[in-house]
Chains A and B, each alone.
Chain A
Amino acid sequence: MRRPPSSIDPELAARDEAFWRRQEKRRERGMGQPCCTQSGVSWSLIDVPGDFAVVVHGEYDCTNCFHHHIGRSARRFYSTRLTEAQLTRGETAAPLRRCLELIAREERPPMVVVLGTCPVEVIGDPFFDVVARVSAETGVPMVPMRTSGLKLTSQREMLDWLYATLAENAPAAATLSGVNLFGLPSPRLGVSEPVRLLRHAGVNVRASLPQGATWDDWMAVRQAAVTAVVDRSMFPRVLSLLEDGGQRIVEVPQPVGVEACRQLYAGLDEATDGALAGVVERELSQAQSALEATRIQGRRVGIAIRMLNAYKVEALVHQGLGEVPAFLEAGLDVELLIQGAPDPDAEKAFAAALDARGFGHLPRHIFPGPWALPALLKQQRYDLVSIADSSHHAALEADVPYLPTGALRPYLEGVAGNLRMLSERLGSRR
């Protein structure tokens, strides 16, 4: 018998809604979106310049889970292109072996990272054995990772796993010296402000990771004496590995806004035995002046979190809240827009996570997905919103000026420009 449409069957609709909320609750504990670890690792490695190779062991469309038109190493990626017949018959070893042998023979990369996928996970493919055998036969280091989209892993956990894997396979040094910067923004070309200042102060910067890092940078990660890291809680595995190797870990804030930069450079100064204070003094003073000259009062900004699935460290550290202090410092009244199930349990989890970060006092609104954002923005009538760029149409629909998440430039060199941009955006409706 044909069932009535749900729009006129409230009982069915209510049952479904309860089901939906139960599902959402599975992943409401963290403040970030869950991810496919194959997608995330690929997305991260494809932008690392170097001669390494990455093999995605699965059907060819599994390589479509990440961008190919942005990264700097798309030419280093391979797929075993498993067919339906190979998957159903379990004949997956031969194409993997062939692929790895050819890469080893024709490319001789310093390392091959082999990634699992959902289809090979489902059939229980023991691909680690093939990888180990071909690596031993060819002498090319090969690192298998049992990645897939089957486990609802957080993006933070995925990145920590990847970075720990790379660090494990980097050569250890007999003596440690210099500084690593970990999680601090870095341009795709050139060097970041702290690298420039540290070098000016005569400090050896070993590697700036992961943003802007090359394969060689990763291979140097175990050689530094000190690693300065943004949001220590995000990288337990890799930091534990570095500490076990004798490195000292110094936690610094995400360097957006004057106060955060002041703390960053104070931390780096302390880590480098006072090398930096004199070098940074003038630029700190200029940034402070720019802040004091800005007068923003009584303006509300809505900052959306839990929207990004782009594996960007700067958007994931501090649970995506890293820009909030800069908005507050500029004088804005900040409210948080949290993508998630409007469910009491989830609400409690969000509240606890925000309290832990010191933002529990900020007003917050939970919305179930991008489709619900225009109505929320219209209702709240913010002066400005900071949302994922993929949802900027919501801001256009609600006629609210918007900034894409991560639009604030880092470091002292970004302070004046950020304040100018905020003033301009707040000065007029779109």
Chain B
Amino acid sequence: MNRDRPGVAVEALSLEHFRLRGLEHGRLTGVSIAVHAIADAFLLMHCGVGCKHKATSQLSTHDWGRGVVEREGWTEVGDAELIAGAADRIGPYLRSWARRVEPGLMVVISVTFLDLTGDDTKFVVQEEAPTVDPDVIYIEAAGHKGDLHLGYATALLELVRRMDWRAPPRRPRAVGIVGYLFDRYEGDHAGNLRQLQRLLADTGLEAGPVMLSGVPWADVQAIAECGLIVQLPYMGPRAKGLRRALRSRRPVIDTMLPIGLRGSTRWMQAVAKGAGADVRRATLKAAARARSVEVRLGPFAARLKGLKVAVFADLPLLAGLLSLLDELGVHVVVAGIRGHSFGGRAELETAVTAYGAPGLDEIEVLEDPSLQLGTTTIATHIGHLDGVLASSAEINALATLGQEALHRAGRGPFVVEVGFPCKRYHAVSNQPAYGFLGVFTWAQRLLDAPRLWDSGLDAG
């Protein structure tokens, strides 16, 4: 346990509490990612000038597939507007942007310093919404609590609430997926979405829309036509809200991420069971897929077996990676849980167990670690650590230790960018992380991973 418990007195807080963390993105960033994931949505930020960076800066680093700045605006609040009252600015900006960009959906957020003035932004947005053509949704995104994942899940829930679930499903056999974290228009997501379709087909089910997947708002709403809903873990922080919104009108099947052979198999089994499909058929199909992957992977597997790595990822992804890496024979020495929306070590243990992977006894687990803690922990293992899987934030911090601190036999550790944001990893072609084919992507990325430094003189 490296984190101070919630509710600890200020006088007892440790320095770790105050340090900059690996995932230091609040709800606004999560909402921004959700809006970006709807092709024709527009984000209006009722905020000050610096808050704009929470939405654009790192997302534009992360997504090379689609521009970020063209579909967002801000209400330009400064000190003068604060004194005079700022909420009445929302209407004119909403209408101007609606006319200019003609979005299918407009999402409005506010920030803490404006909430402190007592303005009822949500009410103002509701008042102004009828003056524009597109749907308008207000989403709470103040930056004093919650992380990116809470913001993303909250956005999903607000979108779900906008849909009409009262009518009987027009596609009763179709499975809609809620809680897919679509953070860029690149080949990793194209590959994942294809894999989800394939897993459903192998389970004998019809694939419906995925929330979210880069399609326009009208197409997102088609998920309400589905007879079944699969909930991925990224809906987790708002899972109860989702069930309340659906009010038993659709069965909701709670699943892990389909990562690795075990993860994909168990995902299919869970969905088949929840959908009342043939679980045995799904299991046989999964076994055949897994066997096919194992055969193709065979000659390369020995190159991965025995590698020692540190992994930093959000909890759902981390659990999937721990299972996958175990399947590949890669030993995880340090596991850092990025963010706090999904819990800490105990929740990770539960998630890993759900994959059927070994527990965490042999792993040093860091909960929502600071960049400093993550970096120094990796440094203590550097003599016997081969690589690091982490976001560009942790990798960048690690690199600042310098070549001398990190080298082993003329080389630094290999680095595989995962999570948000990625600076160097961009996927032109389909590179799924999910499904049976996703195992090839991970194996390929591990084999090809660049090193922080490489003299090129190692014996191979």
Q: A371–B60 contact, CB under 8 A?
A: no
Q: A118–B50 contact, CB under 8 A?
A: yes
Q: Which of B57, B82, B132 has the largest number of chain A CB atoms within 10 A?
A: B57
List chain B residues, Cβ under 8 A from A72. Answer: 400
- From 357 to 405 in chain B, residues with beta carbon under 8 angstroms from any chain A beta carbon are 370-372, 375, 391-393, 395-397, 400
A87 to B143, CA, bound (A): 12
Q: A16–B48 contact, CB under 8 A?
A: no
Name the residue on A nearest B372 (C-beta): A75
* Interface status of B78 (Cβ within 8 A of chain A): yes
Q: B144–A5 contact, CB under 8 A?
A: no
Q: How many residues of A contact B (CB 8 A)?
A: 81
Q: A118–B48 contact, CB under 8 A?
A: yes
Query: Given A74-B20, A75-B372, A370 and B67 touching (CB < 8 A)?
Result: yes
Q: B113–A6 contact, CB under 8 A?
A: no
Q: Please tell me which one of the listed residues B28, B49, B68, B130 contacts residue A149 in the complex, with CB atoms under 8 A apart.
A: B49
Q: B51–A16 contact, CB under 8 A?
A: no
Q: How many Å from the CB of A353 to the closest CB on chain B?
A: 20
Q: How many Å from the CB of B91 to the closest CB on chain A?
A: 7
Q: Which of B25, B28, B70 has the largest number of chain A CB atoms within 10 A?
A: B70
Query: What string of 1s and 0s marks CB contacts (under 8 Å) between B45-68 and chain A?
Result: 001111111101110110000111
- From 6 to 47 in chain A, residues with beta carbon under 8 angstroms from any chain B beta carbon are 6-7, 9, 12-13, 15-17, 19-20, 23, 26-27, 34-36, 38-39
List chain A residues, Cβ under 8 A from B393. Answer: 68-69, 74
Q: How many Å from the CB of A5 to the closest CB on chain B?
A: 5
- From 125 to 184 in chain B, residues with beta carbon under 8 angstroms from any chain A beta carbon are 130-133, 142-145
Q: Please tell me which one of the listed residues A12, A78, A372, A390 contacts residue B19 in the complex, with CB atoms under 8 A apart.
A: A78
Name the residue on B nearest A388 (C-beta): B69
List chain B residues, Cβ under 8 A from A95. Answer: 10, 13
Q: Which of B92-100, B206-214, B275-283, B315-323 contacts A (4 or more CB under 8 A)?
A: B92-100
> In the complex, how many residue pairs between chain A and chain B have their CB atoms under 8 Å apart?
230
Q: How many Å from the CB of B52 to the closest CB on chain A?
A: 7
* Interface status of B101 (Cβ within 8 A of chain A): yes
Q: Please tell me which one of the listed residues B48, B67, B70 contacts residue A150 in the complex, with CB atoms under 8 A apart.
A: B48
Name the residue on B nearest A369 (C-beta): B73
List chain A residues, Cβ under 8 A from B79. Answer: 121, 150-151
Q: Which of A55-63, A239-247, A261-269, A271-279 contacts B (4 or more CB under 8 A)?
A: A55-63
Q: B51–A65 contact, CB under 8 A?
A: yes
Q: A78–B18 contact, CB under 8 A?
A: yes
Q: Please tell me which one of the listed residues A5, A9, A74 contacts residue B397 in the complex, with CB atoms under 8 A apart.
A: A74
Interface residues on B, range: 35 or more
Q: Which of A74, A83, A107 has the largest number of chain B CB atoms within 10 A?
A: A74
Q: B371–A65 contact, CB under 8 A?
A: no
* Interface status of B15 (Cβ within 8 A of chain A): yes
Name the prevailing secondary structure of the B interface residues: helix
Query: Given A59-B112, A69-B421, A81 and B48 touching (CB < 8 A)?
Result: no
* Interface status of B14 (Cβ within 8 A of chain A): yes
Q: Which of A98-106, A161-169, A327-335 contacts B (4 or more CB under 8 A)?
A: A98-106
List chain A residues, Cβ under 8 A from B70. Answer: 370-371, 391, 393-394
Q: B78–A390 contact, CB under 8 A?
A: no
Q: B396–A64 contact, CB under 8 A?
A: no
* Interface status of A2 (Cβ within 8 A of chain B): yes
* Interface status of B1 (Cβ within 8 A of chain A): no
List chain A residues, Cβ under 8 A from B101. Answer: 371
* Interface status of B458 (Cβ within 8 A of chain A): no
Q: Please tell me which one of the listed residues B57, B68, B98, B113 contacts residue A7 in the complex, with CB atoms under 8 A apart.
A: B98
Q: B28–A61 contact, CB under 8 A?
A: yes
List chain B residues, Cβ under 8 A from A151. Answer: 78-79
List chain B residues, Cβ under 8 A from A372. Answer: 100
List chain A residues, Cβ under 8 A from B143. Answer: 59-62, 64
Q: B116–A102 contact, CB under 8 A?
A: no
Q: Please tell me which one of the listed residues A27, A88, A391 contacts residue B69 in the complex, with CB atoms under 8 A apart.
A: A391
Q: How many Å from the CB of A393 to the closest CB on chain B?
A: 3
* Interface status of A67 (Cβ within 8 A of chain B): yes
Besides the known contacts A16-B96, A99-B18, A150-B79, 19 further A-B residue pairs in the complex with CB atoms under 8 A apart: A7-B132, A20-B92, A35-B50, A64-B25, A64-B28, A67-B57, A69-B392, A78-B19, A95-B13, A118-B50, A149-B50, A149-B78, A150-B78, A151-B78, A151-B79, A309-B53, A369-B73, A390-B56, A390-B60
Residues of A within 8 A of B (CB): 2-7, 9, 12-13, 15-17, 19-20, 23, 26-27, 34-36, 38-39, 49, 55, 59-75, 77-84, 87-88, 94-95, 98-99, 102-103, 106-107, 117-119, 121-123, 148-152, 309, 368-372, 390-394
In the A-B complex, the 3 residue pairs with the closest CB atoms:
A36-B50, A61-B143, A61-B26
User: What would be 22 A-B contacts, judged by CB atoms less than 8 Å apart?
Assistant: A2-B130, A6-B95, A7-B99, A39-B49, A59-B144, A61-B144, A64-B29, A64-B54, A65-B50, A68-B397, A69-B392, A74-B20, A74-B396, A75-B20, A80-B18, A87-B116, A99-B15, A102-B14, A122-B117, A150-B79, A393-B70, A394-B67
Residues of B within 8 A of A (CB): 10-11, 13-15, 17-20, 24-29, 47-54, 56-58, 60-61, 66-71, 73, 76-79, 82, 89, 91-93, 95-96, 98-101, 111-113, 116-117, 130-133, 142-145, 370-372, 375, 391-393, 395-397, 400, 421, 423
